[in-house]
Amino acid sequence: MTTDSQHPSSRGERSTTASSTDVFATTHWTVVLAAGRRSTPEADRALEELCRIYWYPLYAFVRRHGYSKQDAEDLTQGFFASFLSRNYLEGLRSEKGRFRAFLLAALKHYLSNEKDRATRQKRGGREKPLSLDWQDAETRYQIEPVDQLSPDRLYDRAWAMMLLEKVVGRLREENSAGGKERSFEVLKPFLMFERGAIPYAQVAAELRLTESAVRVAVHRLRRHYRQLLRAEIAQTLADASMVDEELRSLFSAFSF
């Protein structure tokens, strides 16, 4: 997804308000880190919601390692059963303050302990802490680049895509609540393509607006998109000043 000469998320101010549609207003990695070595209800909820949002990249990582669909489902769900039930804060390493890196490191550790397939409980034999859409995950995986990306690079790419989709979803909800759902769907492609790729005159005719009004609407949509994306990324970092660095790291996964 691109705009001008940079990705739209690479600039803009961080949003300071949480969306009312968020399940938990405290869904932040900083909440988990602040709990230190003790589990708290607030930190547990924050971690569970972060995992609920960003579980697909883990599934894609496991699949890219050569596991079958069934085994990847077992391993991913088994990982969450272990990860969310144990004292995950014990021996916590911040992985440079990134939840993305911490979660992948935890999965790699789990997989290294699951080499003996005979000792692994099969799906249905253990509690499932998260309700996950496996069919959607496999459909996503089947359209991922086949040979170009290593498991780690695919993980980063999938993580970036989940961020983008979550932000677009929030934009859609906001516009729908304001009675602007149709306008948003027409303007949404401007978030995905280079400036000039979509004729403003065509969109103006469709929305029955002037070209000038469309340009203003697109500018505002892109600006709000950048704000929401930066705020979403900040939720997964221990230090909000790392947002730009995390953006560069994540979107480098698209250059293959």
Q: Give yes or no for residue 27 having a pLDDT over 80.
A: no
Give dist(CA 31, CA 41) in Å, integer: 11
Give dist(CA 31, CA 44) in Å, integer: 9
pLDDT band at 254 (very low <50, low <70, confident <90, very high): confident
Q: Give yes or no for residue 17 having a pLDDT over 90.
A: no
Question: 2-16, 60-74, 192-206: which has the minimum mean pLDDT?
Answer: 2-16
Report the chain's C-alpha Rg in angstroms: 20
| Inter-axis angle of helices 151-177 and 56-64, nearest 10 | 150
> What is the pLDDT at residue 122?
52
Q: Give yes or no for residue 69 having a pLDDT over 80.
A: yes
Give dist(CA 198, CA 218) in Å, integer: 11
> Rounded to two decimals, what is the model's pTM?
0.77
> What is the pLDDT at residue 143?
87
Residue with the bigger pLDDT between 37 and 221: it is 221
> What is the pLDDT at residue 22?
36
Mean pLDDT over 20-26 rounds to 36
Contacts of 244 (CB under 8 A, 6+ apart): 10
- What are the residue boundaries of the structural domains of the chain, listed by start? 8-254
Residue with the bigger pLDDT between 123 and 217: it is 217
Mean pLDDT over 67-93 rounds to 81
Position of tokens 């890196």?
Answer: 101
Give dist(CA 171, CA 121) in Å, integer: 40
112-163 confidence digits (pLDDT tens) = 887 655 455 554 445 677 888 889 999 999 988 776 788 999 999 999 999 9
How many Cβ atoms sit within 10 Å of the Cβ of residue 23?
10
φ and ψ at residue 103, rounded to 5 degrees: -65, -40
Mean pLDDT over 16-39 rounds to 54
Closest CA to 167 of 15, 5, 11, 25: 15
φ and ψ at residue 98, rounded to 5 degrees: -105, 125
Cβ–Cβ < 8 Å for 56, 158: yes
Residue with the bigger pLDDT between 241 and 224: it is 224
Q: Give yes or no for residue 21 having a pLDDT over 50.
A: no
